[in-house]
């Protein structure tokens, strides 16, 4: 399964950086969504280290009828087309960019950054980040921060490549001003499947509070996007950025659920 996961590696000639196998403990963590296609709506999984307790969110409330569309691995030549599709549907997304790809797609990155959509960090070189020593982890986040700054972005969200994160990495991301976010619905579009399979995988997991994972690097993903947005509209779901999603989740915390699920005391 790790082999499959590694096929999502980006065309940066950095395969060597990914050659160290993960520990068994981390393998379980990073493989969850890839194995099952869907992952639990719980804080520890979805936004590790956040003070927002998702158990206190009432997903039946109208304010919770939002889906965060997240599109990883750009900037990419497909992005302007994706922007057009989003605009046509009144939808928004969060693009998680790889710092090292920004210089070659500078114009596109700037276009997305000023489009009303959100741009987050997906590291500089897309490594299996927890395999890196602390100074290289820091370098990878800091370099991406510089690359994003070159297109006017100060990211507040971090998407770890492969969903590979541990407490120290989430804390480092926070130090850089970013919350870490995984996903609840995995399109598995990196497996080179067709648009109809991608659409089906997402649509069966479209629900209030969902965080959908897609990749801008795949033509099939772009082809699947209109039908996904239309199905969301039919169900009364709004597609929003990560920051709008978080705000909607916080608005949907109810006193009753907060009493049932008191936040753990933090040290
Ligand atoms: Zn990625």
Per-residue pLDDT tens over the stretch 212-237? 999 999 999 999 999 999 999 999 99
Lowest-pLDDT choice from 25-39, 124-138, 227-241, 243-257: 25-39
- What is the average pLDDT across 187-216? 90
Nearest CA among 143, 46, 156 for reference residue 98: 143
Which pLDDT value is given to residue 55? 94
Out of 72, 76, 79, 166, pick the active-site residue.
72
**Ligand 1 centre from 71 Cα, in Å?**
9
**Ligand 1 centre from 73 Cα, in Å?**
5
Answer yes or no: are the C-beta atoms of 71 and 217 closer than 8 Å: no
**List of domains in the chain:** 69-242 (3.20.20.370)
CB-facing half-sphere around the CA of 159: CA atoms within 13 A:
30
Lowest-pLDDT choice from 84-98, 188-202, 230-244, 245-259: 188-202
Q: Is the pLDDT of residue 11 over 90?
A: no
Distance CA 231, CA 191 (A): 23
**Ligand 1 centre from 232 Cα, in Å?**
24
| Angle, in degrees to the nearest 10, between helices 106-113 and 79-88 | 20
Answer yes or no: are the C-beta atoms of 163 and 182 closer than 8 Å: yes
- What is the average pLDDT across 200-221? 94
* Cα 118 off chain centre by: 11
**pLDDT per residue as tens digits for the range 142-185:** 999 999 999 999 999 999 999 999 999 999 999 999 999 999 99
Q: Is 72 helix (H, G, I), strand (E, B) or coil?
A: strand
* Cα 72 off chain centre by: 7
Active-site residue, 186 included: no
Tokens of 98: 């790889």
Which pLDDT value is given to residue 266? 52
**pLDDT per residue as tens digits for the range 100-125:** 999 999 999 999 999 999 999 999 99
What is the tally of helices (H) and strands (E) in the chain?
A: 11, 8
Active-site residue, 72 included: yes
Sign of CA dihedral 193, 159, 211, 46: positive
**Ligand 1 centre from 57 Cα, in Å?**
28
Which pLDDT value is given to residue 39? 85
Backbone dihedral region for residue 226 (phi beyond 0: left; psi -120 to 50: alpha; all else: beta): alpha
**Ligand 1 centre from 102 Cα, in Å?**
14
**Ligand 1 centre from 190 Cα, in Å?**
9
């Amino acid at each position: 399964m790790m082999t499959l996961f590694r096929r999502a590696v980006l065309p940066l000639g950095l395969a060597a950086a990914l050659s160290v196998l993960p520990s068994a403990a981390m393998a379980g963590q990073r493989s969850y969504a890839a194995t099952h296609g869907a992952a639990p709506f719980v804080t520890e999984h979805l936004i590790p280290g956040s003070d927002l307790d998702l158990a206190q969110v009432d997903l039946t409330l109208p304010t919770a009828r939002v889906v965060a569309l997240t599109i990883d691995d750009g900037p990419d030549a497909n992005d302007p087309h994706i922007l057009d599709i989003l605009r046509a549907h009144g939808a928004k997304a969060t693009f998680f960019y790889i710092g090292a790809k920004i210089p070659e797609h500078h114009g596109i990155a700037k276009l997305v950054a000023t489009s009303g959509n959100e741009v987050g960090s997906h590291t500089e070189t897309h490594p299996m980040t927890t395999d890196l020593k602390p100074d290289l982890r820091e370098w990878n986040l800091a370099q991406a921060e510089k690359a994003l700054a070159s297109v006017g972005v100060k990211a507040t969200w971090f998407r770890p490549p492969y969903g590979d994160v541990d407490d120290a990495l989430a804390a480092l991301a926070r130090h850089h001003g970013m919350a870490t976010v995984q996903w609840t619905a995995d399109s598995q579009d990196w497996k080179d499947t067709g648009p109809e399979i991608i659409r089906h995988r997402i649509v069966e997991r479209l629900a209030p509070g969902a965080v959908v994972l897609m990749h801008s690097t795949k033509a099939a993903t772009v082809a699947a996007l209109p039908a996904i947005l239309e199905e969301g509209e039919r169900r009364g779901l709004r597609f929003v950025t990560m920051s709008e999603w978080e705000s909607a989740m916080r608005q949907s915390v109810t006193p009753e659920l907060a009493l049932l699920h008191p936040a753990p005391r933090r040290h």
